[in-house]
Amino acid sequence: MHPTHNTRSENIPVQSAELLNRRVAAAIDLHGQLKQARGNVRGSAFIAVHELFDKVAGEARRDSDLIAERAAGAIQVATERSFLIPYPLRIADETQHLFAVAATPAAFGQSAHDAIGQSETLGDADTDDLSTEISRGVDHQLRPAESRVAPK
């Protein structure tokens, strides 16, 4: 660790970095999956779905930037740790993409929600706040994707 005037225990940033590196890996993976969906979607609502995926991908990129800034870790460490299920390669139908695009951010959002309690236990209120912000954002992003999928 570099010398700092920060009054937090030195253990908190070390433990939080481990927690955050897992999340930054997933956020980067999520962004890539959303861009993949955006580039491969087909169907009658192509433009609307394409724009929706672009918006959600932008939010995922923002999240990955926020997490990476807080983690201050090495990206080489983070990229090995994504816990998201790989995006399906052989889909083109807009409904299948909408389902996949809703499922992946939901898993990422759940991890942000789980991190809230973990960072609180560590005594890292700033990471706790960041996780809360991301969790709220993902919930907000899910609504438009899920609203386009017809209920069964």
How does DSSP assign 58-80, residue by residue?
HHHHHHHHHHHHHH---HHHHHT
For the chain, how far is it from start to end, CA to CA, in angstroms? 53
Q: pLDDT by residue (tens digit) across 119-141? A: 888 888 888 899 999 989 888 87
The second-level CATH assignment, the architecture, of 11-82+90-147 is Up-down Bundle (1.20)
Answer whether residue 100 shows pLDDT above 80. yes
Q: What is the pLDDT of residues 66-86, one digit of tens each?
A: 888 887 655 565 556 788 888
Name the band, by pLDDT with cuts 50, 70 and 90, for residue 11: low
Domain assignments of the chain as residue spans, ordered by start: 11-82+90-147
- Side chain identity at residue 152, one-letter code: K
